[in-house]
Amino acid sequence: MEKRANAVTFKGNPFTLVGPKLKAGDKAPNFTCVNSGLEAIDLGKTPAKTRLFSVVPSLDTPVCSEQTRKFEQVVAGFGDKVACYTISLDMPFAQKRFCTDANVSHMVSLSDVHNHSFGQNYGVLIEGLPIPLLSRAIFVLDKNNTLSYVEYVPEVTSHPNYDQAIAAVKAASA
């Protein structure tokens, strides 16, 4: 498995990311995550339409919570043209609790705790922390599973570029 040394910082300290650095135009890799119903979800079980994968370290942190709530507000306006997911290493039960408490209903939560395949295949699994976490990132896929937008946020505790991500979703779903 490819490792990218010093690919990201977490609270200013450099860390290695496990997996490839994807870019727009790449085919989206497969993965297997678990939803709140403990059902295994892979890329093929996501609808063949524009998809937003919002990757966060943990929903129980302020930036991750704000990121999920922000995309929740925006994606509601896209209706059924776009499928949106928040992906983290949180347990599915914790994700469900967060979504219920935060009234998040348009973003589907997927847990990569099963086998870390999303983290490894999308190059967002942080190596070297006391517990496994995913690095903050945004991936937009078109209906043909091609990545049309990729953002690896350089500092894990910083926000992604919401405007660029939303513009990419709009462009891919037009």
Q: Which residues form the catalytic set?
A: 64
**CA distance linking residue 117 with residue 30, whole number of Å:** 8
**What element of type H or E holds 13?**
strand 13-18
Question: What φ, ψ does residue 75 adopt, rounded to 5°?
Answer: -70, -25
Q: Is the dihedral of CA 142, 145, 149, 151 positive or negative?
A: positive
30: which DSSP letter?
P
**CA distance linking residue 116 with residue 165, whole number of Å:** 24
CA torsion, ordered 20, 26, 32, 38, to nearest 10 deg = 120
